[in-house]
Structures are given as structure tokens and as C-alpha cells.
């Protein structure tokens, strides 16, 4: 694995909204894919949602099955020998795997100065929502924290695609995050999800240092756009200054497509350049907010 | 068929041909046997596919990611908020936005670029070089909301203290 470009600890971005369907996976996959390349950063994506949509978006099914057989998924980060049972965990003080051992290279520049890696997701994560024993989950949480701390030393940026709930995994993600990137669609549901998330973060007692909130308007139509939600958001006393100026515009290229597995901006289609330019503008602004560029 | 003509026109537009060159191209297309053209198109599809397979992991081209966006600039968006929606004259819009930016501590009054006689959007684009774009949009939206009394959303977001 190539060495990182900075000696600073990498920022950790949790992509999260308390409402589903707001584009968390779109942001985690496609914005980060452009960010890694345009800013030349070593970027680690962690699929931390039991639905593992991020993994299904960019990894072909046959490759995923091999990775799963080799225990090369997020579950190995959480537990040393993942149990097949949905109701038990393996408690151990063993250190987490190395980033290079559990992640796969999705993209890499010539010479390897920058790369985009993915820790594939796993449905098995769902068991942490079913187990109601904080003591049993404590070593799991500690191991995840250790893994992310290690990634912060080796990478320039860590991005965690979280699941939209107030579960054990959400808390784990928030505890390691330096920033929370909240995609918000211009509808009442996702904007209320932002408020719920903000309340959740501010009330979470285990969060010693609150992560910085960044809001990204996602799925903005290029025509017939009703800006009511955007106007509420941008003029809001708490969220206005946290809302990125560049929105992510709606594009069918960014939407999940059953016949295409991979990053949207790599799709050999006609409108790719327009979408890439928009995603690039978002990535550049995000990079500045995260302190990745001066 | 109508769509095909539009798509062909789009492809030809990217060549930037003059009228004479366009005429020559159309005559050339008439002379080429359909089978030949079909083979050439198939070959292009093949090489495009090969490129996408090669580039699966190694990024070979980054130029398309760094193209400037053709989406509306911050200046255009602010102009829409203040001039079209709030119906403010340029000088008033500029003065009110300046006042708000200065009061918010985002810029010193002496650092605000002069309005000049150019469009508001061009002035805003110069302001954005000194103040984060998201803050300019925030202030412009707050101003816009003062002047436009739209019904708003049924469900809206409160503040943490509420």
C-alpha cells in the first residue's frame, strides 16, 4: 500500500441521515470516487450499513461472494472470527485486521500515489441491532474504533457509509467521525431527518467531541425545481452555514442501475461529463471543508 | 427517427464544422456503404468497451473530472434569489447583501468589491472570492425570505432549543 500524502490524521466522514433514500450511497460512492482522483488522496470507503448498498453498487456479485468467503468484509473488522449466528458475537481483545488486508482496491492512479479502497459491507452487521447487551458489544465497538484510528494514520480520508437509524452501528460511526456529511433531498422527509440527526448527535452522551455537520443538497432537479426546502435550509440559523454551496443535481447516471456495477462517473454514456463536472464541484468544496486542500 | 436526427445533430455539433465541411460530410456519408459504416461503429463500440475494462482499476484519464461545471454560478443563483424572486433593484440587492455579510463578520466593509455598472451576478462572483460561497448563499436566502412571503412547507425544521 502506498504511503499517505499527509502526516496529519485523516478526517473521518460519516455519511448519514436519519431518513433513508436520501442518497447516502450515491455520495459515498460517486463523490468519493471523484474526490480521491481530483484531489489525489488515499481514500478508504467503509460500507457500514447491513443493507450493503455501497458494496452492491460498485462490486460485482461474483467478486463479492469470493470476498465474503475469504472473510474480507466489515464483519472481520468488528470480530476476529465472525459467527454465523445472528445472535452471538465473538468477544476478543485481538487487534483488528490491517486496512490493506480487509479492504480492496477499487481505483488507483498510475504509480499508486492515490487510491480508493473499500471495506465491503456485510448483512451480518444486522446482528448488532438484535443484540441488546451493551457489555457484549463493548469489545466490538473498541475494535472498530481501533481499526478506524489505524486507517486515519494510513489514509488521507476515511468515509463511512452509515445506516439510517439510531442503532449501535450509527453510534460507532459517530464516535469515530470528525465530520458528518448529511445528504438532504429537497423534500420534507430528508430535511426532517437532518434535524433528528442533529438532536441525536447533540444528545449522545458518549460523544466527547461532536463531529462537524456538513449538509449536501442531493437530487436537485435541473428543471421544474421547487426550492422551498433549500430556502428553509439555507436560511436556517444552525444549518445555513453548514450547507455546501454546490448541490448534487439529479441525474439518471447517478441512480442505481441493475445492468451496471461500478462508479457512475466511469459509465461510458453521453452525459457523463456534465455529471462529472457537478460531482467534481461538490468534491472540491467538500475537500476544502475537510481540510484536504488549502 | 426524429430523435435520431437530433442525436446525429448533437454529435456533428461537437465537430464544430462550417457549412461547407458539413455538406462534404453528408455527401461522404451517402457514398459509404451501410455495411462499412456499421463495421466502423462496431469497432468503436469494441474499443470503448476495452477502455472501460482496462480502466477498471487503474485511472488513466482524469481530465473529464476536472472540467469546469456548466451549472449556474453562485452569482447567477444569488441574482435569481434577489432580483427575480425578491424583485430588488441591483443597487439595493448589493447594498443589503453587503450589509448582511459585514454584520455577520464574514468580510470587512473595506474589502467588499465595488458594484460597478456590471450585472449583480458578476459582482457576487467577485464577492465569492473573499467569502465562502455557502455563506453568500445563506445571506442571500435570508434576504430573499424577508421579501418573499411564500407559504412555506407544512413540516419545517426547528432549532435545537425548540
Please, is A103 exposed, middle or buried when counting C-beta atoms within 10 Å of its C-beta (0-12, 13-18, 19+)? Answer: buried
- The per-residue pLDDT for A37 is 92
- The per-residue pLDDT for B5 is 77
pLDDT of A129 over the 90 cut: no
**Is residue B82 classed as helix, strand or coil in its secondary structure?**
helix
H/E element, A272? helix A272-289
Phi, psi angle pair for A15, to nearest 5°:
-95, 115
pLDDT of A155 over the 80 cut: yes
Distance CA A274, CA A68 (A): 36
Nearest chain A Cα distance for residue B81, angstroms: 10
Q: Which residue has the cell 455557502?
A: B134
B73 in A contact zone (CB under 8 Å): no
What is the pLDDT of chain A when averaged over all its residues?
90
Mutate to test the interface with A, among B156, B159, B161 (most CBs of A within 10 A): B156
* % pLDDT > 90, chain A: 60
Distance CA A279, CA A118 (A): 19
Q: Tens digits of per-residue pLDDT, A52-69? A: 999 999 999 999 999 999
Q: Tens digits of per-residue pLDDT, A198-221? A: 989 998 888 888 999 999 999 999
- The per-residue pLDDT for A85 is 73
- Please spell the DSSP secondary structure of B27-75, one letter per residue: HHHHHS-HHHHHHHHHHHHHHHHHHHHHTTTEE---GGGGSPP-SPPHH
Q: Provide the b/e sequence for A31-62 (b: ≥16 CB within 10 Å).
A: bbbbbbbbbbbbbbbbbbbbbbbbbbbbbeee
B69 in A contact zone (CB under 8 Å): yes
| CB spacing of A266 vs B153 below 8 angstroms | no
Query: How many secondary structure helices (H) and strands (E) does chain B include?
Result: 7, 1
B74 in A contact zone (CB under 8 Å): yes
Query: Quick one: pLDDT band at residue A20, thresholds 50, 70, 90?
Result: confident
Domains, chain A, with CATH or none: 12-289 (3.40.50.300)
- The per-residue pLDDT for B14 is 57
Q: Please tell me which of the candidates A110, A230, A276 has its beta carbon nearest to residue B58.
A: A110
Distance CA A166, CA A149 (A): 22
Contacts of B137 in chain A (CB under 8 A): 234, 243, 245
| CB spacing of B58 vs A191 below 8 angstroms | no
Q: Tens digits of per-residue pLDDT, B50-74? A: 344 345 667 755 555 555 566 789 9
Q: How far is CA B95 from CA A241, B56, B100, B135, in A?
A: 21, 52, 9, 16
Q: Please tell me which of the candidates A195, A228, A276 has its beta carbon nearest to residue B153.
A: A228
- The per-residue pLDDT for B51 is 40
Q: Please tell me which of the candidates B51, B65, B160 has its beta carbon nearest to residue A265.
A: B65
Contact B127, B112 (CB under 8 A): yes
Per-residue pLDDT of chain B (162 residues), as tens digits, is 556 777 777 677 656 677 777 887 888 788 777 877 777 776 665 544 434 434 566 775 555 555 556 678 999 999 999 999 999 999 999 999 999 999 999 999 999 999 977 799 999 999 999 999 999 999 999 999 998 876 555 556 666 555
**The three three-digit cell numbers of residue A202, written as one number:** 447533540
- Taken in order A292, A266, A69, A16, the sign of the CA dihedral is positive
Query: Quick one: pLDDT band at residue A5, thresholds 50, 70, 90?
Result: low
Q: Tens digits of per-residue pLDDT, A248-290? A: 999 888 887 778 888 888 887 877 888 889 999 999 999 999 9
**Is residue A44 classed as helix, strand or coil in its secondary structure?**
strand
HSE of A143, CA atoms in CB hemisphere, 13 A: 23
- The per-residue pLDDT for B6 is 73
List the one residue out of B133, B102, B69 whose CA is nearest residue A288.
B133
Q: Which residue has the higher pLDDT, A116 or B117?
A: A116
Amino acid at each position: 500500500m502506498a504511503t499517505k500524502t499527509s502526516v496529519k490524521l485523516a478526517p473521518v466522514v460519516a455519511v448519514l441521515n436519519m431518513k433513508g433514500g436520501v442518497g447516502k450511497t450515491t455520495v459515498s460512492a460517486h463523490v468519493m470516487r471523484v474526490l480521491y482522483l481530483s484531489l489525489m488522496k488515499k481514500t478508504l470507503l467503509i460500507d457500514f450499513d447491513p443493507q450493503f448498498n455501497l458494496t452492491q453498487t460498485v462490486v460485482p456479485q461474483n467478486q463479492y461472494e469470493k470476498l465474503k468467503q475469504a472473510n474480507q468484509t466489515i464483519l472481520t473488522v468488528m470480530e476476529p472470527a465472525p459467527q454465523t449466528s445472528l445472535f452471538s458475537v465473538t468477544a476478543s481483545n485481538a487487534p483488528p485486521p490491517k486496512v490493506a488486508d480487509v479492504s480492496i482496491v477499487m481505483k488507483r492512479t498510475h504509480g499508486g500515489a492515490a487510491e480508493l479502497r473499500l471495506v465491503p459491507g456485510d448483512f451480518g452487521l444486522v446482528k448488532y441491532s438484535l443484540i441488546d447487551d451493551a457489555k457484549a458489544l463493548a469489545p466490538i465497538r473498541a475494535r472498530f474504533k481501533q481499526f478506524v484510528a489505524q486507517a486515519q494514520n494510513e489514509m488521507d480520508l476515511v468515509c463511512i457509509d452509515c445506516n439510517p437509524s439510531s442503532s449501535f452501528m450509527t453510534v460507532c460511526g459517530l464516535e469515530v467521525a470528525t465530520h458528518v456529511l448529511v445528504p438532504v433531498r429537497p423534500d420534507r422527509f430528508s430535511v426532517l431527518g437532518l434535524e433528528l440527526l442533529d438532536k441525536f448527535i447533540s444528545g449522545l452522551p458518549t460523544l466527547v467531541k461532536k463531529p462537524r455537520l456538513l449538509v449536501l443538497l442531493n437530487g436537485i432537479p435541473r428543471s421544474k425545481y421547487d426550492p422551498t426546502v433549500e430556502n428553509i435550509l439555507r436560511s436556517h440559523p444552525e444549518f445555513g452555514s453548514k450547507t455546501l454551496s454546490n448541490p448534487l443535481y439529479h441525474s439518471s447516471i447517478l441512480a442505481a442501475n441493475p445492468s451496471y456495477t461500478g462508479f457512475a462517473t466511469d459509465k461510458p454514456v453521453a452525459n457523463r461529463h456534465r455529471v462529472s463536472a457537478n460531482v467534481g464541484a461538490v468534491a472540491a468544496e467538500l475537500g476544502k471543508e475537510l481540510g484536504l486542500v488549502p | 427517427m426524429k430523435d435520431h436526427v437530433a442525436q446525429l445533430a448533437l454529435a456533428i455539433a461537437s465537430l464544430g464544422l462550417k457549412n461547407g465541411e458539413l455538406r462534404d460530410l453528408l455527401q461522404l456519408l451517402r457514398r459509404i456503404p451501410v455495411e462499412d459504416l456499421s463495421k466502423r461503429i462496431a469497432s468503436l463500440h469494441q474499443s470503448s468497451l476495452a477502455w472501460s475494462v482496462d480502466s477498471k482499476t487503474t485511472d488513466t484519464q482524469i481530465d473529464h473530472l476536472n472540467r469546469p461545471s456548466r451549472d449556474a454560478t453562485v452569482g447567477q443563483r444569488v441574482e435569481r434569489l434577489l432580483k427575480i424572486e425578491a424583485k430588488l433593484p441591483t443597487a439595493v440587492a448589493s447594498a443589503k447583501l453587503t450589509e448582511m455579510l459585514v454584520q455577520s463578520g464574514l468580510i470587512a466593509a473595506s474589502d467588499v468589491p465595488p458594484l460597478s455598472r456590471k450585472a449583480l451576478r458578476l459582482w457576487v462572483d467577485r464577492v465569492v472570492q473573499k467569502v465562502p460561497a455557502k455563506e453568500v448563499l445563506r445571506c442571500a436566502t435570508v434576504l430573499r425570505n424577508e421579501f418573499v412571503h411564500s407559504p412555506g412547507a407544512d413540516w419545517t425544521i426547528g432549532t435545537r432549543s425548540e
